[in-house]
Structure 1
Amino acid sequence: MTAVAVHGVGTSHFGRQPERDVITLAHDAVREAMADARTESVDAVWVGTVFGPAGVAQRTLRALGITGVPVVTVENACASGTTAFAEGYEAVRTGRYGRVLALGLEQMSTTFSGAITPEPTDPEQRSGLALPALYAMSAARYLHIGAVTPQQLAAVSVKNHAHALHNPRAQYSGRYTVAEVLGSKMIADPLTLLQCCPTSDGAAAAVLAPATGGARQVTVRGVALRSGEPWNQDSPHVWGFDIVRDTAADALAAAGLDTVDDVDVVEVHDAFTIGEIVTTEALGLVGEGEGGKAAEEGVTAVGGRHPVNPSGGLLSRGHPLGATGLAQVAEIVWQLRGEAGGRQVESARIGLVETMGGGVSVLDGNACVVAVLEGP
């Protein structure tokens, strides 16, 4: 089997950009990734998108001059972009293709005016349970059992918005206090506006090819993909915990790592503040019930023992669903190359990406992808 590396990455700016379509957003990401990889061609393309119309991949790539190669579109909720990355990685690893483009894209500002709701055939939709409410239930459970405080939930938002001050591609940034976060508009009790990711437009891309030891190549140590198992009121953990824990264990084993403590920098799926807290616990970065305390005490800040979401995360960089996972990959690549500027994690050698998408009734998440990368 072939060792695989990320040869190039690129993203668009993230934000509400109703004047820009997916083609122009993808142009920014793909052109940057191809130039970064010093190539003008690829052998195949995987495209992750959730709400893109039929043929969006081919239509977008045609405008970029990428035609005549296999193109596969994947939809895996918020993990669509990292699913494209995982499939592209496997295609190179097994020798099916020599150079692959993974692209994620989404234009949401002209599609949604509010929260994304589940599929109408699911009971959650019929009962009015939009996705913010699903996360709010996890937050309420953590508050009820004493695993987090309102101030600790807000601390995640304070941290990630501050990280994004050093990310010129981020949708939002700012220096907020815990009181300002808690005092922002209530969205789904106990989650306030500044604890929820925004509606975003954007694209992100990565070029994968065999590792040749190049000075700027970032090696893919391991990738794992899982779909959720049945979950209900009898499950011992909140929604999303088990799928993240199990997928991370698969990825760490594939990477040959004994523990997540070997990882220097992490980008996780923080669509809501409670999501980051639950994920840091599920990954094993901190113990169960300690995720909120870690955020409050700076453990998960840049400069802390386990830096999480130096990009600003979904909360601040933005969350164009199909593009999110590959934006996380791009951030980790920049971190491992030492190219992250004011948000750089010192001496970062090994990075981890976790993206989890949900919304299918009865299951513990639609899909989760975890990737482990190693710097040059």
Structure 2
Amino acid sequence: MRKVMVLGIGQSSFGKFPDKTATELGTVAAKAAVHDAGIDPRMLQVAYGARAVDGSTTVQDILKNLGVTEIEMNNIENACGSGISAANLLWRDIATGSYDIGIVVGTEAMTTSSLAGKLLAPNKDDLDGQLGITMPSYFALIARRLMADYGATAEDLTYPSVKNHRNGCLNQYSMYKKELSAQEILESKMIADPITLLQCCPSTDGAAALILCSEAVARKYTSQMIQIRSSAMISGSFDEPGRDLVGFKMLGVAANKAYEMAGLGPEDVNVVELHDAFSPEEIWAYEGLGLCRKGEAISFMRSGAVDINGRIPVNPSGGLLALGHPLGASGVRVVCEIALQLRGDAGAHQVAKANVGVAEMIGGYLEGLCPPIAGGVQILTR
């Protein structure tokens, strides 16, 4: 397997842009990544698009705006895991020598999508969904389990939102640049007890793009050698679905695969970007990624370890809670953010001494399977 290097990153602003299409947003991100890489876009040999809603030949539509045609182009849908799934496929192409350079573009226009203002409709054969289990209610069950088994308080459950909105104030791309107190969060509209509105990520328009290449290509264009050391994907399991809501075994499986492939462990990690669609979700991910031991997620968080100046900062960008969650873009954005941190280019939200970073994104819920249904973990080093 060859080394896979990050050559270029780019993203659009995140927010509500009803006058912008997913293609237009994706074009902004792709052009930014090409500019960051310092290449002629016609060098690209393969392209992947990621879009969870209303997608059809999206990456072809984007790349024609860059003058790129007649190369292999594929579009990926894998719920919230669409972006990191596409990034994984591009990583594999470069690692195996199928191609020397390629791009992945994740984009979503949630404001004007067919899902705007709606909940995801369950499949007809999804009994849980037909009975009213939604993503907010599912994570509310996790929150209740954190309270019952871990001694979490209602204030504890708000902390990722408090922290991430504080971090988001430092990020130029954030949808929300306003600090929130635990009291403000607790007093916001109840969505699924104990999760309130300000513990939920906003539906957002936005895009992110990532250019990966071989080491030989990278050395021609940059002295900042950021490597994706490993990339691991996982799907749901029949193994005791729903019985251990906090553990989320399959996230741990993906993380362990990524650590083993990279020859690193959680103790080596300096910065993490992860899927925080709901505030309590970030808390259980601490254990899934091995950042703390089982049963210690609350005390780990209370220690300040996950703060931007802590031992292992989590979501220094502001995460989905502050940036927003354009579904197809988020999995690409987390990889871009880790690369940005390792380059030392994150500006006001830069993490000190960031040498090893983890990008995680998950998605999907299906009755009878232990989630995440689509999960990915990438480990980057400088």
- Structure-1-length-normalised TM-score: 0.95
Q: What one-letter code is carried by the residue in structure 2 that aligns with 1:218?
A: I
AA aligned to 2:102 is: V
1:344 aligns with 2:344: no
Matched, 1:242 2:249: yes
Which residue of 1 is the match for residue 88 of structure 2?
Answer: 86
| Mapping of residues 87-126 of structure 1, within 5 Å | 87-111=89-113, 112-126=116-130
> 1:253 corresponds to which residue?
260
Question: 1:209 aligned to 204, 209, 213, which one?
Answer: 213
Alpha-carbon RMSD: 1.6
Counterpart in the other structure of 1:266: 272
Q: CA deviation at 1:234?
A: 6.7
State the alpha-carbon separation in 1 of the partners of residues 160 and 14 from structure 2: 20
Deviation at 1:190, TM superposition (A): 0.6
Aligned ranges for residues 123-142 of structure 1 at < 5 Å? Answer: 123-142=127-146
- Please give the alpha-carbon distance, in whole angstroms, between the structure 1 residues aligned to 2:246 and 2:156: 19
The answer on 1:198 being equivalent to 2:202 is yes
308-317 or 240-249, larger mean C-alpha shift: 240-249
| Paired residues of 1:8 and 1:207 also in contact (CA < 8 A) | yes
- How far the C-alpha of 1:232 sits from its partner, in A, is 4.5
Per the alignment, residue 3 of structure 1 pairs with 3
CA distance in 2, matches of 1:245, 1:285: 11
Aligned to 2:318: 312
Q: Which string of whole-angstrom CA distances, capped at 9 and with x for unpartnered residues, describes residues 194-223 of structure 1?
A: 110101111111001012454223111111
**Other structure's SS at 1:365 match:** strand
SS of the equivalent of 2:112 reads coil
Give, in angstroms, the shift of residue 26 of structure 1.
0.7
Cα distance, 1:290 vs structure 2: 2.5
Q: In the TM superposition, what are the counterparts of 1:316-335 in structure 2 within 5 Å?
A: 316-335=322-341
Shift of 1:136: 0.9
Q: Distance in 2 between matches of 1:19 and 1:240?
A: 41
> Which of 69-78 and 53-62 deviates more?
53-62
- SS of residue matched to 2:136: helix
Greater alpha carbon shift after TM alignment, 335-344 vs 357-366:
357-366
Among 280, 283, 286, the residue aligned to 1:280 = 286
Aligned length: 373
* Counterpart selection for 1:44 from 43, 46, 71: 46
Question: What is the distance in 1 between the residues matched to 2:318 and 2:82?
Answer: 20
Distance in structure 1 (CA, Å) of the matches to 2:67 and 2:125: 39
| Whole-Å separation in 1 of the counterparts to 2:18 and 2:125 | 29
| Matched residue, 2:373 | 366
Which sections of structure 2, spanning at least 5 residues, go unmatched?
A: none
Instruction: Map residues 142-153 of structure 1 onto 2, 5 A cutoff.
Output: 142-153=146-157
Task: Report the equivalent of 1:31.
Answer: 31
SS of residue in 2 equivalent to 1:9: strand
Measured in 1, the distance between the counterparts of 2:84 and 2:242 equals 30
* TM superposition shift of 1:327: 0.7
Find the counterpart in structure 2 of residue 298 from structure 1: 304
What's the secondary structure of 2:179's corresponding residue?
coil
Do 1:154 and 1:273's aligned partners in 2 also have CA atoms closer than 8 Å? Answer: yes
Paired residues for 1:213-232 under 5 Å? 213=219, 214-230=222-238, 232=240
Q: Name whichever of 137-146 and 34-43 sits farther off.
A: 137-146
1:129 is displaced (CA, Å) by 1.8
Instruction: State the distance in 2 between where 1:233 and 1:329 align.
Output: 29
* Kept after mapping to 1: 8 A contact 2:171/2:349: yes
Deviations 1:110-141 (A, max 9, x none): 22203334334311221122211111111112
Closer/same/farther in 2, CA of residues 234 and 155 from structure 1, 3 Å limit: closer
SS at match of 1:334: helix
TM-score under structure 2 normalisation?
Answer: 0.94
SS in structure 1 opposite 2:30?
helix
Counting aligned pairs with the same residue, the percent is: 37
Q: Verify the 8 A CA contact 2:47 2:72 in the aligned structure 1.
A: yes
- 2-structure distance, mates of 1:284, 1:13: 32
- 1:48 maps to amino acid: A
Instruction: Give the partner amino acid of 1:65.
Output: G
Instruction: Name which of 273, 280, 295 aligns with 1:289.
Output: 295
In structure 1, distance between residues paired with 2:379 and 2:105: 18
Deviation per CA, 1:162-210, whole angstroms, max 9, x where unpaired?
Answer: 0001101011132211111111111111101111010111111100101
Q: Deviations over 1:316-360 (max 9, x none)?
A: 111111100111111111100101111111010011101111222
Distance in 1 between residues matched to 2:184 and 2:381, nearest whole Å: 38
The separation in 1 between residues aligned to 2:129 and 2:340, in whole angstroms, is 39
* 2:190 matches 1:183: no
Q: How far off is 1:143 after superposition?
A: 1.4
Instruction: Spell out the pairing of 1:49-68 with structure 2 (5 A cutoff).
Output: 49-68=51-70
Contact 1:45 1:70 in 2 (8 A): yes
Farther-moved stretch of structure 1 (54-63 vs 344-353): 54-63
Question: SS at 1:166's partner residue?
Answer: coil
Alpha-carbon distance, 1:64 to partner:
3.0
Q: Which moved more, 1:98-107 or 1:119-128?
A: 119-128
Structure 2 CA distance for aligned equivalents of residues 294 and 66 of structure 1: 47
Report the equivalent of 1:169: 173
Q: Is the 8 A contact 1:12 1:204 kept in 2?
A: yes
